[in-house]
Amino acid sequence: MANRWGIPKDVEDLVKQRDTNCVYCGQEFLDIPESRKQKPSWEHIVNDIRINGTDNIALCCMSCNASKGAKLLEDWLLCNYCKRNNINEDSVAQIVKEAIKKPPRFK
Q: Which residues bind Zn ion (CB under 5 A)?
A: 22, 24-25, 61, 64
Which lies closer to Zn ion via its Cβ, residue 56 or residue 63?
63
Query: Among residues 8 and 21, whose Cβ is nearest to Zn ion?
Result: 21
C-alpha span between 26 and 91 (Å, rounded): 8
CB 64 → Zn ion: shortest distance, Å?
3
Q: Shortest gap between Cβ of 21 and Zn ion (angstroms)?
A: 8
The answer to whether residues 59 and 40 touch, using CB atoms and an 8 Å cutoff, is yes
Query: Within the chain, what is the greatest distance between any pair of CA atoms?
Result: 39
Strand runs labelled E in 4-89: 40-44, 57-61
For residues 51 and 87, which CB has a smaller minimum distance to Zn ion in the complex?
A: 87
